[in-house]
Amino acid sequence: MKTSQFRFQLSILLTLFLLGCAPALPIAPSGYVPSRNNLLRDPYGAYFSFWTEEKSFEGELLGMRNDSVFVLGRTLARVYSGDIKDGQLIIYSPNKLSGGLVMMLPNAALLVHVGSYGSAPAALALSLSVIDFIGTLPAMALEKEITNYRKWGDGWTAVMRYSRFPGGIPNDMQVTQLTRRPEVKGR
């Protein structure tokens, strides 16, 4: 087997391995969660999708009152917390690939030398850019999974801290009068 063919096959295998490290995590629908930069100023709850034996629910997590969880999606849902089998909370809208693309800009400086040295700098710049991009995918997925997602199995207190009413919905509040998050384009 030729050395160049072996390197090519090894690079394909490494690429597939690194892409496999990036789990396919769900994202919230557009407009349901704030951007990471606006997280501290956002008065609404995080996006919560969960299911019971009979049905699945999704929408803004309002909070708890007594033993019931309130979620405001297309309609208001009130579910006994003991009936929730599993669920996932998405706290903010994840960053795009722009961070990984910025890392590739220094590689473009190698293209200045193409006229003097032929195609070697271009090949090196392309190789480094591919390595940067492939390395960005698992890093982004890991960052999102660690900081942006909470599971119902982590305990209801870990999930409720990202609700609209983290201390619980006040008893004198009319939950049916609450409105959904206004749709904001460009989140």
- The full set of domains in the chain, from first to last, is 24-93+148-177 (2.30.30), 95-147 (no CATH)
Question: Residue 187's pLDDT band (boundaries 50, 70, 90)?
Answer: very low
Q: With helix as H, strand as E and coil as C, how does 32-76 read?
A: CCCEHHHHHHCCCCCEEEEECCCCEEEEEEEEEECCEEEEECCCE
Q: What is the pLDDT of residues 96-153, one digit of tens each?
A: 555 555 555 565 565 555 566 666 666 766 676 666 666 666 666 555 666 777 888 8
Tokens in use for 126?
């392309």
Would the pLDDT of 78 be above 90? yes
Tokens in use for 79?
């579910």
pLDDT of residue 134: 65
pLDDT of residue 94: 65
pLDDT of residue 92: 81
In this predicted model, which residue has the larger pLDDT, 65 or 185? 65
pLDDT of residue 182: 80
Order of strands across the sheet with 86-90?
76-80, 68-72, 56-65, 47-51, 86-90, 149-151
pLDDT of residue 101: 55
pLDDT of residue 156: 81
Would the pLDDT of 23 be above 90? no
Q: Write down the residue that tokens 């006994």 correspond to.
A: 80
pLDDT of residue 11: 65
Which residues are CB-neighbours of 74 under 8 A, at least 6 positions away?
59
pLDDT of residue 62: 95
pLDDT cut 90: percent of the chain above it: 26
Would the pLDDT of 18 be above 60? no
The mean pLDDT value of the chain amounts to 75
Distance CA 30, CA 16 (A): 30
Q: What is the pLDDT of residues 26-57, one digit of tens each?
A: 567 777 788 777 888 889 999 999 999 999 99
The 3-state DSSP class for residue 112 equals: helix
pLDDT of residue 35: 77
Query: What dihedral do alpha carbons 175, 72, 93, 64 form, nearest 10°?
Result: 50
pLDDT of residue 22: 46
